[in-house]
Structure 1
Amino acid sequence: MKQVKFFLVALMAVVMGMSVTSCMNGEENNTVQGSLFVKVSPYDFPPSFVDAAGGKWIPTNATVDASKSMALISFQYDRTTVEPNATSINVTLVKDPYYFDKSHVTPTEPEVGNAPMYTLEPESYYGTIRGGFWNKDILILPLAYWYKKYNNTTEKEKYEAEMNAHSFRMYCDVATDFKDGVLTLTLVHDVNGGEEDVKRTDKNMDYKAFDISSVLSGIDGKTVNSVKVKVMENQSSDSYTDASEKLYNIEYKFAK
């Protein structure tokens, strides 16, 4: 299972591109600490992280994985080294970046999945985790789903096969899924591969980003007032036949 507990509290505050920051104790201490969702900028030299406002975050103690799409970073920096109008900040990462995937929303009617979601609002020690828009195009969601737990050291092959078996796709047919300013997105969960006839009784959580830019282009400049995400959900078991439809409301602050 991916280790995301360290970052759970950050999602509730930083998914819109803001950072959770604080200064360490002491009036004269200039160390700023924070967490932030960022996009990987692979064409910078060296590759860097970019926030929703276009600012660059350049780690001084780690190399950015240019093959990844998005990340959640936890960092610190000396604010006395940052100019008032700086467009980039050199930071020290206090944890390894948590990388996650981004995919484009398919602008067609949804296909039928074969596995339910557990929830899009998982609970943690800090409270309920909810997704949101990073910018007008990119939606970040916490995905909680049923899986078969394996030890990633002693059962590495089975662990990797299980993690790779799960896929998540999002669809939106604007002809039917955009009405009165409300955009409805359908999230589909599929399980293909892994061990056959396995019962998935454990829960995993991961983040995934979805790019709705093609959908926005398809509505010809009409205003989106709110977004709903539709899923098939089952919080009792991994049975898809016993799953029921669930709608999640996502705030959209980018209406014209």
Structure 2
Amino acid sequence: MAKFKIWMVALTLIMGVSFTSCMNSDNDTTRYGGTLAKVYSMYGVNYYFKTADGLTITPTSSSVAEIEARGFKFSEVEGEVVQIAYQWDSSVLEIPDNATEVSGVTLTGILSIDSPVEIVDNPGASNDSISDTPIISLKKEASSIYTYEPYYFDRTTLILPINYYLQTKPHSFTLVYYPNEEITDGIIKLYLRHKKSGDNMTPGSPTSWDYAVNGSSYLYWRSFNLQKILYSASSSLDKVIVVAEENPSSVDLKDTSTKTNEYTVEYKEIK
């Protein structure tokens, strides 16, 4: 997998699917961590992060300033879910496994995983989004222990683990809501649209899951803010159905083996 080329800004993101790493020798006290987290600030300064299970991570101001000096604007991702990587010296800072707050770590990388959400009154409208290639699946049986599937980061933020083929160009994803569509049992449907953006991938290409295993989780996990749908929908968004066009053996949307699958996602408070 080391030969895979990532076309995004080069950031050292030492994380895998578990979002943590302990690549240390016996004499090295540097520890590494990473996670998906939402960005917050105190009046536009003093940025910090919160994970879905309530962990607050506050990096040093100097490490935030260093990343901003590279051209990253924290103000543009405030309120969004991002993938972060950080490190600390365990001889100076101890972080217990059950910590609810982590402060003083050095932020080494940050990438947004936010994708757009569109409310489309009529199919084919100017803001409608149409897929041009299927995904593989929204559910991944990673092992006998772990299963990855759509979940709520919080009440208004949906996280989708999108497995798809890709080669050399980033793909785009949009979640579309049609408010005039008839709903059943008060549960709305959200349609995932996938565009390859000119990528020339094949079923033999690497998958977003392959990249995630090697640290580029932002290609696999995508975040969707449902806030504006909340204001227009007549029903609760504590449960939604995500509709996706899937094909594990072809990248052709019109292939006869392409199927439309539905995933019911229900909000559950993480404790």
TM-score range, shorter chain: 0.5 to 0.7
Report deviation, 1:253.
Answer: 3.6
Task: Specify whether residues 52 and 147 from structure 1 end up closer, same or farther in structure 2 by C-alpha distance, changes over 3 A only.
Answer: closer
Q: Name the CA shift for 1:36/1:193 in 2 (closer, same or farther; >3 Å).
A: closer
Give the whole-Å Cα distance in 2 for the aligned partners of 1:248 and 1:5: 31
SS at match of 1:176: coil
1:245 aligns with 2:260: yes
Give the letter aligned to residue 138 of structure 2: L
What pairs up with 1:1-256 in 2 under 5 angstroms?
6-9=15-18, 36-41=35-40, 44-51=44-51, 56-60=56-60, 62-63=63-64, 65=72, 66=74, 67-68=76-77, 69-73=80-84, 78=94, 89-92=102-105, 96-97=108-109, 99-108=111-120, 109=123, 111-125=129-143, 127-148=146-167, 159=168, 162-163=169-170, 166-176=171-181, 178-194=183-199, 199=202, 201-202=204-205, 203-205=207-209, 206-220=220-234, 222-242=235-255, 243-253=258-268
Question: 2:33 and 2:187 mapped to 1: Cα distance?
Answer: 34
* AA of the residue aligned to 1:6: M
Cα distance in 2 for partners of 1:58, 1:225 equals 29
**Structure 1 residues 142-197: Cα deviation after superposition (integer angstroms, max 9, x where no partner):** 1111112xxxxxxxxxx3xx12xx111110112216432212110000123245xx
- 1:213-233 deviation digits (Å, cap 9, x = unpaired): 11111124x334521110000
Scaled by the length of structure 2, the TM-score of the pair is: 0.63
How many Å separate the matches in 1 of 2:163 and 2:84? 20
Aligned residues with identical type, % of pairs: 20
- The number of aligned residues is 211
1:97–1:105 CA distance, 2 compared to 1 (3 A) = same
Alpha-carbon offset, residue 250 of structure 1: 1.1
Instruction: Please provide the CA RMSD for this pair.
Output: 3.6
Show structure 2 runs of 5+ residues with no match: 7-11, 21-31, 210-219
Q: 1:54 to 1:253 in 2, by over 3 A?
A: closer
Corresponding letter in the other structure for 1:184: K
Q: Under a length normalisation based on structure 1, what TM-score does the superposition of the two structures give? A: 0.66
User: Is the contact between residue 140 and residue 210 of structure 1 (CA under 8 Å) also seen in structure 2?
Assistant: yes
Q: Deviations over 1:20-52 (max 9, x none)?
A: 9xxxxxxxxxxxx97653112366324322445
Instruction: Could you tell me which runs of 5 or more consecutive residues in structure 1 were left unpaired when the two chains were aligned.
Output: 11-19, 21-32, 149-158
Distance 1:54 1:236, change over 3 A: closer
Cα displacement (A) at 1:245: 0.2
